[in-house]
Structures are given as C-alpha cells and as structure tokens.
Amino acid sequence: MIQFENATRTYGNKVAVSDLSLTIPSGELFALLGPNGAGKTTTIKMLVGLLRPSRGVIRVCGHDLITETRSAHLHLGYVPDEPYLYDKLTGHEFLRFIADMYRIPRDLSQERIKREIDRFELHEFADELAENYSLGMRQRLVFAAAFLHDPDVLVLDEPMVGLDPRSVRIVKDLLKAKTADGMTVFMSTHTLAMAEEMADRMGIMVQGNLKFLGTVSELREQVDMETRSLENLYLEITSSETGEHEVASDDI
Amino acid sequence: MQNQLLDIPQENQLTRRLRGTIAWNLVTTIFHQSRFRFGLVLVLSTIFWAAVFCLFYDAFNFIDSMHAEVMSLLFNTFFSALMVMMIFSTGILMYGGLYRSGESSFLLTCPLRTEAIHAHKFTEALWFSSWGFILLGSPMLIAYGIVRDAPWSFFIMLIPFIVTFVIIPASIGSILCMLVVAGLPRLRLHTLSISLALVAMGILWFSWSTFGSIQSQALTPAWFEETLSRLAMTEQVFLPSWWLSSGLLDAALGGESRELTHKSTLEALKFLGLILANALFLSLVASWVARWTYRKGYSNLQAEVPIRRHRKLFWLDELLSHAGSQVGNPVRLLLVKDLQIFRRDVSQWSQFVIFFGLLALYFYNLRSFNYSHVYASLIGHLNLAVVGLILSTFTTRFVFPSISLEGRRFWILGLLPIHRDQIVWSKFLFSFVGGLIPCLGLILLSDSMLGLPWSSIFVHLMCCLALCGGLSGIAVGMGASMPNFRESSPAKIAAGFGGTLSLVLSAMFIILIVITVGFTNHLNLLQQTIGQLSGNTASRLLGSYGGQVASLLIIIAGGLLTTFLPLVLGIRAFRQLEP
C-alpha cells in the first residue's frame, strides 16, 4: 500500500508537487498522467526515496520513507525511465546481485533468477555483459530485477519505452496477474491507451496538483464532451492549466 | 518468503563482491578485446616506473652522500603536497560518485544503508585518487630503501604505510564534499569555485614565497639552503604527512646493529599505529557524516532549479559566421557549432586551461635559471616535445572521438546540404587552429625565457606548426577512418583501439620531429659555443647551417605528409560510411 499525506515538494520558489494526498491500496494499479513538467517525476522520485518531500509524509506498506527508508525499500520495486545497469556485469550477475541485496537464500534465488530469465526471455543474452545490450534488452532485465524479490509495491516510470510489442504484452499480463495477487503498482505514463487499458484508477496531475483522481468511467462522467475519447478528456483537463509557467525540464 | 535486510558485514561483502566482479570482467574484457592497449599500458607503465625508480635512485645516492639531513624535508614536502592534492581529488571524485552518478541513484532506491553506499563509492574514489601516488611513490620509496640499505621490514611496511595514509586525505575530502553539498547545495558551485580559486592563489603564493623572492643565485648551495628552509613549514608534527615521513625514515634506519634496527622498527610501528588510528577514526567520521547528510544532500541537489540562460551569439561566433566567402559557409558554420560546444563543455576547456596553464607557469619560471646556451637549447627541445605530447593527448581525447560523435547525429548532418568532406575539414581546422594558437604562444614563452637565439626560435615555431598540423591530421584522419558509432562517451571512444593507435602514432611523430630538429640544432649550437666539432664529418655536416636547413625541410615535408595522408585516407573512408 502507498500513502501520500500532504506531500509537497518545492524547487526554490516553484512548487513541483503541492499537498498530494493519495492512498493506493493493495492490488490496485494506479496510473499517473500529466503533461511535461506536471510533477510526475518528482512524485515518483519522492516515492522511491530519491527526493525528500519538503512537507508531508509518504509511506510504503506503512513504512515512512524518511525515517524507515530501508524497510520501505524492502517492499519496493522500481523501474525508472532511464534504467541503470552495471555495464561490466552480465544480466545473470546483476540478478544475482539483486537477489543477494534482498537476502534471498541461495537455492530460492537460483529458482527466482531462472523464473525471471524465462519470463522475460533473457536466455540469449543473460551471460553477456550489459554494455552490449540494446535499450529493449536493458529494459527487460530491469523488469526482471524489479520482480525478482516479489515486491509488494512496484513503481514504474514510463515502463514501456524501448520494449517490443511482445515484451509489452508480457509486462501487461504480468502486471495484471500481480495486481490480482495483491501487488500495488504505481505507474507514470504518457500513453493514454495504456492507462485506459491497465489502470484501476488514474490521476491527472497539472502543475503539481492532482486535477483528477478516479477511474476512467468516472473521468468520462466528470467531463461533459461530445467526443468522449480519453485523449480529448485528458487534453480538456490539462490544457486550461498548462501554459507559460511550465518548467523547461522534463524531469520535474 | 519475506525479504530481509542485510546486516553491515553482509552489505560490505555484497559491495565488495560487486566491485570484484566488475574489476574481473573489466580486466578480462580488456585482455581479450584490447590486448594491444592492455600491453601498451603495461609496457609504458613499467617504463615509467623504471624511469622514476632510476631517477630517484640516482637522486637519493647524491643526497645521501652529500645532504642526508634534507631527506626528511623532501619527504615531508612530497607527502604534504600529495596529501593536499588527494583531499581535492577525492572530494571531486566523491561528488561525482555520490551525487551525479547513475549508480548512486540506483543504490539509493535499494534497501542499503547510506554508509554502505558511501563506503562503496569511497573505495572506488580512493583507488582512482591514489593510483598516481602508488605509481609515483612506490619507485621513490623502494629506491630510497635500497640506497639506505634498509632492513627487509622497511619494504614490508611500505604497503600498510601507504594504504593507511591515503585513507586520511581521502576521508577528509569525502567529509568536506558531503558537508558542502548538504549544507550549501545552492552555493555549491560558487563554494567550489571560490575554494579552488583560493587554493590556486595559495599555491601561487606559496610557490612565489618559496622560490620567487630568494635572493641567492639560482642552483647555488645558498639558493638550495634558502629554498629548503622555506619548505620547513611542511614539517609540522600534527600533519599525517609528517607521521608518514618520520615512520618511513625510522623504518629505513638500522643495518648497523640488530638492536638499532629493532628500535627503529618499533618507532616506525608507532607511527604506523598513529596513522592507522587516524585513518580508522576519519573513516568512521566519514561514515557518520554519510549517515546523517548523504540522503538529505542528494535530495537537496536533485531539487535545485536548473539555471536557464538565454544564450546570445558570442561575438566570435558572429564574426566567424559572416567571415569569408559563401563557398566556405558550411565549414564555417560547423566550426562555429564546435566552438560553441567547446566553450560550454567545462570538461574540455578546463583541462585545456589547466594543462597549458601549468606549462605556461613552468615556462615562465625558467627565467630564474640562468642556463648556458647548450643546456638552454636542450631544455627548449624538451619543452617542444612536452607541448607536442600535451597537444597529442588533447587531439586523441577530444578530436579523435569527434567524428564518431558526429556520426551519432548523422541523420541531422545527412539531411543538410553539406558535403561529407566538409565535416572532416571543419574538424581538422578546429583542431589545427585551436592547438596552434596556445602552442605557438607556449613555445615563444619557453624560448624567450630560456634566452634562445632567434634562429632556434624560428626552427621551434616551424616544428610547432608541423606538430599541430600532423597531430590534428592523425586524430581527425584516424577518427574518420576508424569511427565508433556505438559508443556515446568520448572517453571510451578515445580509449579504444583507434584512439590508442592514434596516440602511439602521435607520440612517434613528435619524437621524430623533435629528434630531427633537436639533433642538428644542438650540434649547431655546440659548434657556435665551442668552435669546430672534433667529431666525424657527419657531425660537422649535421651541425652546419646546411644541416639545419635540411632538417627544417624534412620537418616541413614530414609535417605535410602526416597532416594530409591520414586526412585523405580519413575523408575517403568517411565518404563510404554508412552509419
């Protein structure tokens, strides 16, 4: 479970995320949408502990990310938009490293590494150095690493970038299965179709404020438009708010 | 099954195993894929080590027989200077490792203690910042031990002395880095700039007060005495460098009697214990600082608002864009683009400024030494070689990868109405002109400080011209012939086979040029100074003006060949290229 309680993050005078209060229960896939500079990446960075909120509290499975950082991280899996891999480690060695980090016993970790290699079809390159991997291969390995310790909460930042259609299908099916088993998924995306297809609930963030929170059907009900495509609804919500104050950096 | 947190030894074991695996994979990759580079690095390092050893062996023999009492002073000066340098180098490396690396972002999202992440990055930084110390310090200390006929325990103790000592400045650098980032994130650049400026001023002041205002004539016994008395400030009992110097000097004592050896070894062990205790204490402090400040500092740094600057066209860019004919326009535009990138890439121009600035400082100080003509000529030629070697490192590091990096943006260039040859020519012109201006200035400074005659200065300037052309030709030509489009890091491109070969060829070209001109020019000066040479006819001919003119012609021909041959081959290869 994820809890944001009045989480606020400022960059100098600019409020990147303002008083975010949100609870995502176990077994829910939540999609965060918003234009560039809306505060999505800031929210994700706070959720994984890279940024501290200026005010408020964030909890993962009941653990405060500031005071119980390691305990919170124990429950967390993270797939960033620009995944980091050790170039001089093979895929297999990287998974072994992750397994050891979560203190998974050796026999169980062997089993899980094999499971993830099978699941993400890494056999062909698992024993090659990561420096030779393509973007898609890297992304698949990062997914495998994120699922290796069976996290209770999975945070995904633009997860499908670089994946081929088959891998996208694998990830989508896996996310559905895992959320059905009780995993909480927090996903930031620009792909509206993906959010529409996958998300139990979605939030639309504009200039640091959560402008909409609910299901797709609730979103359709809220905005009265003739053409009820999600794209039009999204543009309607975001267009009135974005404008001259948009921050240049896409990372905020 | 529920995941579990690692305890401290397990975390250390995990990161140690990670570094070990990475190092092993790195070595095996280099050995299998870049044997040439691996062999070259090994051979050059061995030659360097042996040369430093011989130099110190002779120097210690000389000092031991005449001025044994200054040994402590020299050790103190050497180690205190290294200590200061290590504080800064580790601080800078830790900043990059802890706050700016992808690995730190990754590790901070893992269930690891911040102390473990710090210890992991600290070990890396320690290795990177101290390898120079090991490469320079080990031949010096071994040479000292041999000259002093030190007991075997001295050689055994060298390793723990060096290892424990380097931890002290490295910890201080790391602590300072974390405190600056946590306390002054917004002012970090200003703080860093001001600190560096203050240190630079301090070093300049120290150099000036140590050597500049000495009344005695240079290189006389009185001059040495005065200089050494000023260096005595490094002999402070509270400095770790003093503990190291004293410990090593004690460890090297003995030989006369077993009792004396035993006593001095015990004294050395006391100093080793002192260094070890301080190293451990400072490591603990660094770990403690990491626990309390690292995450906060990282977060503060992430939350900094990027400074948005509206950049206007610089006057030089404007001037270049509108100069010359319409035909050369694409080359000029590419030059302006490269100039803009160079100006905005701090890593490029700062290295350029530091290396050429240090050379300029050294050349400027040459006037303090009143060399005879013959020695001045020798030093002038060596300075020419040094300028060439520094330039070759820049052409290999920055110019060689430029074509490969351009290739990554080939889809932009491919759509522009530019001939591919013009891209190669623009790179060459950029490198040639960019190198020529500082190199000519440095050679003029060196030769005028040495008081060389105008004929020698002219020859050196011609050599400089040939060197700039040749080195640029090699770097650009080979960069176009052997591009690497898979790699985005210029450092990695330069470190590949093509870059290494380019560096080796550049070094060979420099040696050939300097030897060709140096030999005839030197013989000519000898003839002028001591009259007709008594050697064979060949020496007389080479030393004559005719010989000088011939060497100059060889240099011009060699320079033109080395400039244009690789360029032509590179252009041909670049035309066929399909990125």
Q: Are residues A164 and A49 in the same domain?
A: yes
Last residue of a domain, one of A107, A122, A150: A150
Residue A237 lies in a domain: yes
State whether residue B28 sits within 8 Å of chain A by CB.
Answer: no
Q: Do both A165 and A229 map to the same domain? A: yes
A131 min Cα distance to partner chain B (Å): 10
Residues B223-228 have a mean pLDDT of: 69
> Residue B173 in contact with residue B85, Cβ under 8 Å?
no
CA atoms of B28 and B26, how far apart (whole Å): 6
For the residues B33-44, what does the mean pLDDT come to?
78
Count each helix (H run) and each strand (E run) in chain A, helices first: 9, 10
A69 in a structural domain: yes
Measure A151 CA to nearest chain B CA, in Å.
Answer: 9
Looking at B4-18, B90-104, B294-308, B377-391, which range is the least confident one?
Answer: B294-308
Nearest CA in chain B to A250: B306
In a mutational test of the B interface, the residue from A47, A50, A115, A152 whose CB has the highest number of chain B CBs within 10 Å is A50
Q: How far apart are CA B388 and CA B400, in angstroms?
A: 16
Residue A17 falls within a domain, yes or no?
A: yes
Nearest 5 degrees, angle CA A10-CA A15-CA A16? 85
Q: Is residue B122 pLDDT above 80, yes or no? A: yes
CB contact under 8 A, B5 and A104: no
pLDDT band at B485 (very low <50, low <70, confident <90, very high): confident
Asked if B14's CB is within 8 angstroms of A105's CB, the reply is no
Q: Which residues of A touch B4 (CB under 8 A)?
A: 74, 102-103
The residue out of A115, A150, A185 marking a domain boundary is A150
Q: What are A187's strand-pairing partners?
A: A31, A156
Residue finishing a domain among A150, A182, A204 = A150
Chain B residues lying within 8 Å of A61, measured CB to CB: none
Residue B16's pLDDT band (boundaries 50, 70, 90)? very high
Give the pLDDT confidence score for residue B243 in this predicted structure.
94
Q: Which of A71, A73, A93 sits opposite B110 (nearest CB)?
A: A73
3-state secondary structure labels for all residues of B340-370 = HHHHHCHHHHHHHHHHHHHHHHHHHHHHHCC
Q: Same domain, yes or no, for A93 and A195?
A: no
Q: What is the pLDDT of residue A250?
A: 41
**pLDDT, averaged across chain B:** 83
Contacts of A140 (CB under 8 A, 6+ apart): A120, A121, A122, A163, A167
pLDDT digits (tens, 9 = 90+) for B230-289: 667 777 888 999 999 999 988 888 666 777 778 888 999 999 999 999 999 999 999 999
Q: How many Cβ atoms from other residues are within 10 Å of residue B493's Cβ?
A: 24
Do A171 and A61 share a domain, yes or no?
A: yes
Number of H helices, E strands in chain B: 22, 0
Token readout for B488 is 């985005």
Average pLDDT for residues B209-223, to the nearest whole number? 61
Tell me the Cα Rg of chain A.
18
| Residue B126 DSSP class | H
Query: Which chain B residues contact residue A9 at CB under 8 A?
Result: 303
pLDDT band at B336 (very low <50, low <70, confident <90, very high): confident
> Are B105 and A101 inside 8 Å of each other by CB?
no
Q: Please indicate, yes or no, whether residues A179 and A70 belong to a single structural domain of this protein.
A: yes
Contact indicator for B517, B381 with CB cutoff of 8 Å: yes
pLDDT over 70, % of chain B: 82
Identity of residue B56: F
Residue B359 has pLDDT above 90, yes or no: no
Using a CB-CB distance cutoff of 8 angstroms, which residues of chain B are in contact with residue A89?
Answer: 18, 21-22, 25
Please, which pLDDT band fits residue B568 given cuts at 50, 70 and 90?
very high
Q: Are residues A179 and A251 in the same domain?
A: yes
Q: B14: distance to nearest CA of chain A, Å?
A: 7
Res B197 pLDDT > 80:
no
B103 touches chain A (CB under 8 A): yes
Residues of A within 8 A of B103 (CB-CB) are 84, 86
Length of chain B: 579
User: In this predicted structure, what is the pLDDT of residue B356?
Assistant: 84
Residues A65 and A183 reside in one and the same domain: yes
The answer, for B307 touching chain A at a CB cutoff of 8 Å, is: no
Q: How many domains does chain A have?
A: 2
Above 80 in pLDDT, residue B364? yes
Residue A31 neighbours by CB under 8 Å, 6+ apart: A187, A188, A189, A194, A195, A198, A199, A201, A202, A203
Residues of B with Cβ-Cβ distance to A10 under 8 angstroms: 303
- Does residue A125 sit within a domain? yes
Confidence band (pLDDT; 50, 70, 90) for B313?
low
Predicted confidence (pLDDT) per residue in B61-97, tens digit: 887 766 666 788 888 888 988 888 889 888 888 988 9
A63–chain B Cβ distance below 8 A for any pair: no
A50 and B3 in contact by Cβ < 8 A?
no
pLDDT on residue B579: 55
Domain membership of residue A80 (yes or no) is no
Contact B464, B556 (CB under 8 A): no
> Chain B residues with CB inside 8 Å of A11's CB?
303-305
pLDDT band at B397 (very low <50, low <70, confident <90, very high): confident
- A140, A203, A126: which is closest to A170 by C-alpha? A140
What average pLDDT does this structure show over B523-543?
Answer: 64
The nearest CA of chain A is from the CA of B173 a distance in Å of: 24
A25 and A116, same domain (yes or no): no
Cα atoms in the Cβ-side hemisphere of radius 13 Å centred on B463: 32
Measured between CA atoms, the residue of chain B closest to residue A51 is B299
Confidence of residue B439 (pLDDT cuts 50, 70, 90): very high
Q: Kindly state whether A69 is in contact with chain B, defined as any CB-CB distance less than 8 angstroms.
A: yes
The arithmetic mean of pLDDT across residues B327-338, rounded, is 77
Residue B312 has pLDDT above 90, yes or no: no
Percent of chain B residues past pLDDT 90, beyond the cut: 32
Predicted pLDDT at B450: 86
pLDDT at A3: 95
Chain B within 8 Å of A191 (Cβ-Cβ)? no
CATH code assigned at A225: 3.40.50.300
Task: Report DSSP letters for B261-318, one per residue.
Answer: HHHHHHHHHHHHHHHHHHHHHHHHHHHHHHHHHHHHHHHHHHTPPPPP--PPPPHHHH
The two three-digit tokens of residue B46, written as one number:
């061995």
| Same domain membership, residue A191 and residue A103 | no
Confidence of residue B193 (pLDDT cuts 50, 70, 90): low
Chain A residue closest to B106 (CA)? A84
- Please name the residues in contact with B22: beta carbons below 8 A apart, sequence gap of 6 or more: A86, A88, A89
> Chain A within 8 Å of B9 (Cβ-Cβ)?
no
Nearest CA in chain A to B113: A70
pLDDT along chain A (252 residues), means of 10: 94 88 95 90 94 94 93 94 91 96 93 94 93 90 95 92 87 93 93 87 91 84 63 71 42 44
Does A70 share its domain with A14?
A: yes
**How many CB atoms lie under 10 A from the CB of residue B226?**
16
The candidate with the shortest Cα–Cα distance to B197, out of B292, B52, B275, B88, is B88
Helix (H, G, I), strand (E, B) or coil at A103: coil
Of the pLDDT bands very low, low, confident and very high (cuts 50, 70, 90), residue B350 is confident
Q: What is the ipTM of this complex?
A: 0.91
**Within this chain, do residues A95 and A220 fall inside the same structural domain, yes or no?**
no
Q: A183 in a domain, yes or no?
A: yes
User: Do residues A221 and A193 both lie within one domain?
Assistant: yes
Residue A104 included in any domain: yes
A71 touches B: beta carbon within 8 Å:
yes
What pLDDT does B164 receive? 94
Q: How would you class B24 by CB atoms within 10 Å of its CB: exposed for 0-12, middle for 13-18, buried for 19 or more?
A: exposed
Residue A105 structural domain: 85-150
B302 has a chain A CB within 8 A of its CB: yes
What tokens appear for B465 in the block?
A: 């011209």
Residue B48: the pLDDT is 85
CA distance A52 to chain B (A): 6
